[in-house]
Amino acid sequence: MISGRLPQMGAILALVALLAGCGTGGGSYSPAGGGQSSTQGQAPAAGQPASSTGATSAASGEKVHLVYFNARGAEAAERALVNRYMQDHPNVDIEYLSTTSLSGPSDTDAIANLIFNIQAKKVIDVAKVEVSRTPLDLMASGSIQDLNSIGGDALKTQLKGLLNNNYVDINNGVWAVPYEYDPFGYVYNADLFKDAGLNPDNPPKSWDELRTVSDTIKSKNANAWPICQPINNLAKTMPWVWTSGGDYWDKPVLPTKADFTNPTVTDVYKFQQEWSQKGWRNTDELSDATTLQFMISRKCSAVIYSSDLILQLQANDPKTDWRVAPIQSKDGNGTPYTYGGGSALAIPTTAAHPKEAMDFIMWLSSDDGQRLKYNVTQGLNLADQDLFSQANPASMAVSDQLKNDPKWKQSILTIPSRPPGVSPAFSKIYQLLADMQERIVRSNADVNSELANVQQQSQTLLDQAIANFPQLYPKA
């Protein structure tokens, strides 16, 4: 899901204030859903530097105090899970912190926030972060731990049952554990298709079919946007390239060469520029809230977005027939792929209790924990709005179970994900490409020169990553 943006420094300062206030008597600390903690001070507070005192409390039989930092939303579910874990583990007290209560920092801001606070030696035991960009970005800054030494064989076994495991399990290092899965698709209003004389059971599969659909809808409603997609966003564009048989790199994990000027990538950006030139595409940037609004109001007829948007649409407008299909390939015959967004759980280097943090992560990402989270097993008493505000489960077993649930079956998009070029440089390259896309869409910038320029900048960043992290790039 996309969030609104805060100026990065403003977001950092807001988060520092949030963290620094915790555990001081005048701050916002309380265990999730509960009152003031009776165990405050038995481990370093989140606003205090890490020290060895907290690490010895578990060994001495004192109550373990964990700090859980959520930078990825689903507040109600996370708080309920924290409460359930403390109920089942009375020797553990969990302090819950969140950036999602702020006015909407982007993933880039969240990464900067977390690095800032870890480097300032703030104690954070578990961090819920974006899965594709963040783990290796945090690894590159020395901000998170390799989980292999903590989780051992049990972690390796659990990873096999989680979607997006190839985003975090890299060259014998595990930098986070997948937790939520966020596939992207073509979300469309089937009733609007019917009104325009289109067959909703046969959504467009090729670019030419999408052109026909867009022309038809535009002719029926000149004020509608037939195809919407976030503007400053790489993740929603990458599947267009993959589904049409191309890629941005020489390999999807730890790439060594950027290849943005190949014909497939070039065609995708020219196609998206065509949407703007013909008035098919949204001119306003999309957030979760505006996307919901534009779809329900029929301003957007279809949108490239998280498949779980279906759940929110069904909850807010249950009379409309909402559906999701794979993103179109150029010729209609390509193998569908999705960008596997979502969240992961990491252990920062400032964790006071890494073993107990690993136990909590293993429970959250287990099939049993995920069944609770998604109400396959009842017990959290989440309202539908809170239940459906989450991305899909990372657990393959729980995903398979939800495919049979009428409410979830559209959201559980059963197409393979593909790593997006994960590397220590990916976060910076991601933003270069997202900014380039905005220039192409809004300013009609020359696609060929834009791709060539950003390819050169990205190759420099890749070369620097290869030089700085030889352990990730072993020589042949």
Taking Cα atoms as reference points, which of 83, 79, 67, 206 lies closest to residue 126? 67
The tokens of 100 are what? Answer: 């999602």
Checking if the pLDDT of 310 tops 90, the result is: yes
What pLDDT sits at residue 21?
41
Q: Which residues pair with 127 in a beta bridge?
A: 69, 346
How far apart, in whole angstroms, are the C-alpha atoms of residue 102 and residue 310?
Answer: 25
pLDDT digits (tens, 9 = 90+) for 142-198: 889 999 999 999 999 999 999 999 889 887 889 999 999 999 999 999 999 999 999
What pLDDT sits at residue 335?
95
The tokens of 25 are what? Answer: 């008597």
Most confident of 21-30, 91-100, 367-376, 398-407: 367-376
Mean pLDDT of 111-136: 84
Residue 406: alpha-carbon gap to chain centroid: 24
Mean pLDDT of 392-408: 92
pLDDT digits (tens, 9 = 90+) for 241-268: 999 999 999 999 899 999 999 999 999 9
Instruction: Give the burial string for 20-32 (b: 16+ CB within 10 Å, else e).
Output: bbbbeeebebebb
The tokens of 387 are what? Answer: 């239940």
How far apart, in whole angstroms, are the C-alpha atoms of residue 318 and residue 239?
Answer: 29
Mean pLDDT of 402-426: 89
Three-state SS at 139? helix
**Average pLDDT for the chain:** 85
How far apart, in whole angstroms, are the C-alpha atoms of residue 354 and residue 362?
Answer: 12
What pLDDT sits at residue 108?
64
- 240 and 273 Cβ atoms separated by less than 8 Å: no
Three-state SS at 333? coil
Checking if the pLDDT of 18 tops 80, the result is: no
Residue with tokens 């991305």: 391
Taking Cα atoms as reference points, which of 318, 314, 328 lies closest to residue 226? 328
Checking if the pLDDT of 407 tops 80, the result is: yes
Domains, the chain, ranges and CATH? 8-182+341-414 (3.40.190.10), 184-339+418-468 (3.40.190.10)
55 vs 391, which has greater pLDDT? 391
100 vs 63, which has greater pLDDT? 63
CA angle 187, 193, 197 (to 5 degrees): 160
Taking Cα atoms as reference points, which of 50, 69, 159 lies closest to residue 346? 69
What pLDDT sits at residue 42?
37
pLDDT band for position 416 (50/70/90)? confident
What pLDDT sits at residue 56?
45
How far apart, in whole angstroms, are the C-alpha atoms of residue 302 and residue 236?
Answer: 14
Taking Cα atoms as reference points, which of 355, 438, 348 lies closest to residue 113? 348
- Pairing type for strands 173-174 and 338-339 reads unpaired
Q: Which residues pair with 98 in a beta bridge?
A: 70
Checking if the pLDDT of 17 tops 50, the result is: no
How far apart, in whole angstroms, are the C-alpha atoms of residue 362 and residue 261?
Answer: 42
Reported as type and span, the H/E element at residue 128 is: strand 126-130
Report the share of the chain in percent with pLDDT over 90.
67
What pLDDT sits at residue 240?
98
Beta strand ranges found along 207-333 (DSSP E): 302-306, 322-325
pTM of the complete model? 0.81
The tokens of 372 are what? Answer: 């609770």
Report the share of the chain in percent with pLDDT over 70.
84
pLDDT band for position 98 (50/70/90)? confident
Q: Which residues pair with 64 in a beta bridge?
A: 92
Checking if the pLDDT of 45 tops 50, the result is: no
Instruction: Give the burial string for 298-315 (b: 16+ CB within 10 Å, else e).
Output: bbbbbbbbbbbbbbbbbb
Backbone angles phi, psi at 445, to 5 degrees: -65, 155
Q: Is the C-alpha dihedral spanning 109, 115, 120, 121 positive or negative?
A: positive
Checking if the pLDDT of 54 tops 70, the result is: no
pLDDT band for position 107 (50/70/90)? low
Weakest mean pLDDT among 132-141, 143-152, 432-441 = 132-141
How far apart, in whole angstroms, are the C-alpha atoms of residue 352 and residue 329?
Answer: 48
pLDDT band for position 112 (50/70/90)? confident
> Checking phi first, is residue 249 left (phi over 0); if not, alpha (psi -120 to 50) or beta?
beta
What pLDDT sits at residue 117?
78
Weakest mean pLDDT among 9-18, 205-214, 219-228 = 9-18
Most distant CA pair in the chain: distance in Å? 73
Taking Cα atoms as reference points, which of 402, 391, 330, 336 lies closest to residue 132? 391
How far apart, in whole angstroms, are the C-alpha atoms of residue 428 and residue 47?
Answer: 28
- Pairing type for strands 341-346 and 322-325 reads unpaired
Q: Tell how many helices (H) and how many strands (E) occur in the chain.
A: 19, 13
What pLDDT sits at residue 277?
96
- 32 and 82 Cβ atoms separated by less than 8 Å: yes
